[in-house]
Chain A
């Protein structure tokens, strides 16, 4: 138990090499063990956090699907803006989030930036400043934020339940 990160590192090592020989395997074991030891010693990595992450996999998969759907929608809106005759009229939008954890706030900022048309410019506590490509993106920001926030709250709830 608790060696998931070590195994993931070893699998990545083998995957990047593309084949398994005794030499690759031995080097992989040594490097993965070193990465695992450094993570535990320097970055506060713990077995409990690792298990909590595994428990969140279904929610994370759902979050990924929602993210891809939003990316497709916003890509189509930006394509429309690229091929329209008018130059875009960019705006800054500001809002406060109800998310409590720093990690989920950063995840929300990342999701907003990953959808073209909106880029997170500033995240200060609960306060976000977003750069929107045009007024259409500005109007779409609120529902987008609500969808991502709902998914992130679900992720948080699951984490609380596994503790």
Chain B
């Protein structure tokens, strides 16, 4: 392995480790937070920076090829579709009169 290959390997590995950290934190957050809306924020860690760092790490390790172009498209598609799902769930919560911490509001007559 030449010095440049080592540098590439180290940067790629560091980025993948960073991505794994955000993925693991997303799982921990899902267990730690007590209500569904807050868990959605925790899950967002993996969907955004977690997946970005993992894929950029893979991109650096594998070099530019058809495979890495597919990875870029996967990230872009994920970033376009994931907010829509979150928005739909949150909209249902608001329209059904749930409080920000996911409890049902008691309407006084």
| Interface residues, chain A, with chain B CB atoms under 8 Å away | 12, 15-16, 18, 68, 71-72, 75, 78-79, 81-83, 87-92, 109-110, 113-117, 119-122, 129, 131-133
Contacts and interface: CB of A to CB of B under 8 A. Distances in A.
Contact of B87 (A16, A88, A113, A115): A113
Contact of A78 (B42, B67, B80): B42
A79 B25 contact: yes
Contact of B94 (A88, A91, A114, A122): A122
Interface of B: 22, 25, 28-29, 32-35, 37-38, 40-42, 44-45, 48-49, 52, 66-67, 69-70, 73, 79-80, 82-84, 86-87, 90-91, 93-95, 100-101
A66 B83 CA distance: 17
A131 B89 CA distance: 11
Contacts of A75: 22, 45, 48-49
A89 B41 CA distance: 12
Interface centre among B22, B34, B35, B90 (most CB of A within 10 A): B90
A78 B44 contact: yes
B48 A131 contact: no
Interface SS majority for chain B: helix
A114 B69 contact: no
B29 to A, nearest CB: 4
Nearest to A121: B90
B73 A90 contact: no
A82 B83 contact: no
B65 to A, nearest CB: 9
A129 B99 CA distance: 13
